[in-house]
Chains A and B, each alone.
Chain A
Amino acid sequence: MRSFFRLALAFALLAACDIAGRLLVWGLSLPVPGTVVGILILLAGLVAMRRVPAPLKETAEFLLAHLNFFYIPAGVGVMGYAVLLADDLWPIVVALFASTFLAMIAAGFAFQFVARLMHEKGGGS
């Protein structure tokens, strides 16, 4: 019971950071997503505390392990656009596949290449 209360508190903290981030973005009309600001708020808190409280670690890791769950409604939402997609179906299919593959290859290569270059020069790791 006690541990459940602590986990609930940890979740409330995550939600509070998210809401604070969204409010900040809305209030200052920042061009970044509120949740990203929420991440930074929590990160700043952790840096100040110099440790991650166990219930927070447990809750965050649980949610991240099941992040897919929260994307299911968005997956279902795609259905509404099946009709709109019919016109441009092939360009869309090819563009989405090819472009996603190209972006992954380019970003992965760029990262690995630069990381190796830095490592050889002794600047990295």
Chain B
Amino acid sequence: MSDVGIQLIYWDRVLEAGFWILVTLFFYHLARRIQQALDGSPLANPVLLASAPIIGLLWGADIWVGDYQQGGQALIWLLGPATVGLAVPLYRNFSRVRAALIPMAISLVVGSAVAVLSAVLIGDAMGASVETIRSLAPKSVTTPIAMGIADAIGGYPSLAAAFVIVTGIIGAVFGAMIFNAFGIRDPRARGFAMGVAAHGIGTARAFQEDEVSGTFSGVAMALNGIVTALILPLLWLAFS
């Protein structure tokens, strides 16, 4: 079949992608086992526990991260449909969410402002470069939005994406500890604050705690993404 002009499917790439998806699945399974052994502790974050050995594997075997992302891209694409699933708990808890519109609105404005301002001010006070500060600003919203914002205000989209992921892991790992220390016990408040500060990775953690927290976290993530995307670039232009 060497005379076939156009190759429609690159089987070697499909196989490679499949291989890396299996590797990811293996380390995810292992991470979950570890988390279960630690009574579901948020310290044993599955994203952190699974990506660290994969990074080590790629480094150790001198494999380009782009090869891994052949499979990674497929999983990142699947994140979309998985996130759309949020509509189901949202529908089931609709009356609860509707009853909390005012606390959500206030919490959203306060949390969103603190997330952006504190990152920018701390970065600035500690002498980070302008590009770094601009990439830090949208760290609390989901990756695609953060990349768009960083681009709009003169940061590095890819650096912003890395900050977003680290922020999500920090929120997911330490969220429960922080909420307990500060007497934030209302599961709606815990979920919502998690979603505002730590987007999807925080939401993944919130769903591990309970459905109400997860639902409020998902709503917060969606709302914060929209609000930050609309307001941050405008504010930035106004003040710089």
Assess whether A52 is in contact with B85, with CB atoms less than 8 Å apart: no
With known contacts A88-B128, A98-B122, A76–B170 Cβ distance under 8 A = no
Assess whether A111 is in contact with B161, with CB atoms less than 8 Å apart: no
A31 to B89, CA, bound (A): 25
Report if A14 contacts B (CB, 8 A).
Answer: yes
Contact residue among B163, B218, B220 (Cβ-Cβ distance under 8 Å from A92): B163
Given the complex, which residues of B lie within 8 Å of A40, measured CB to CB?
Answer: 87
Assess whether A17 is in contact with B196, with CB atoms less than 8 Å apart: no
With known contacts A72-B47, A75-B165, A88-B128, A107–B207 Cβ distance under 8 A = no
A96 to B122, CA, bound (A): 9
Which chain B residue shows the least CB distance to A15?
Answer: B81
Interface residues of B in 177-234 (CB under 8 A from A): 178-179, 182, 184-186, 188-190, 192-194, 196-198, 200-201, 203-205, 207-208, 214, 218, 220, 222, 225-226, 229-230
Report if B91 contacts A (CB, 8 A).
Answer: yes
Given the complex, which residues of B lie within 8 Å of A5, measured CB to CB?
Answer: none
Given the complex, which residues of A lie within 8 Å of B72, measured CB to CB?
Answer: 72-74, 76-77
Given the complex, which residues of A lie within 8 Å of B51, measured CB to CB?
Answer: 72-73, 75-76, 78
Given the complex, which residues of A lie within 8 Å of B48, measured CB to CB?
Answer: 75
Assess whether A100 is in contact with B170, with CB atoms less than 8 Å apart: yes
Given the complex, which residues of B lie within 8 Å of A15, measured CB to CB?
Answer: 80-81, 84
Which chain A residue shows the least CB distance to B72?
Answer: A73
Report if A27 contacts B (CB, 8 A).
Answer: no
Q: Which of B76, B85, B189, B226 has the most CB of A within 10 A?
A: B85
State the A residues within 8 Å of B (CB): 11, 14-15, 17-19, 21-22, 31-36, 38-40, 42-43, 45-47, 52, 56-57, 59-61, 63-81, 84-85, 87-88, 90-92, 94-112, 114-115, 118, 124-125
Task: With A75-B48, A79-B65, A110-B111 given, name 20 new contacts (CB 8 A).
Answer: A15-B84, A33-B225, A39-B86, A39-B222, A42-B84, A46-B91, A68-B205, A72-B54, A73-B69, A78-B162, A80-B65, A85-B159, A88-B123, A99-B115, A100-B197, A104-B193, A108-B192, A108-B193, A111-B103, A111-B192
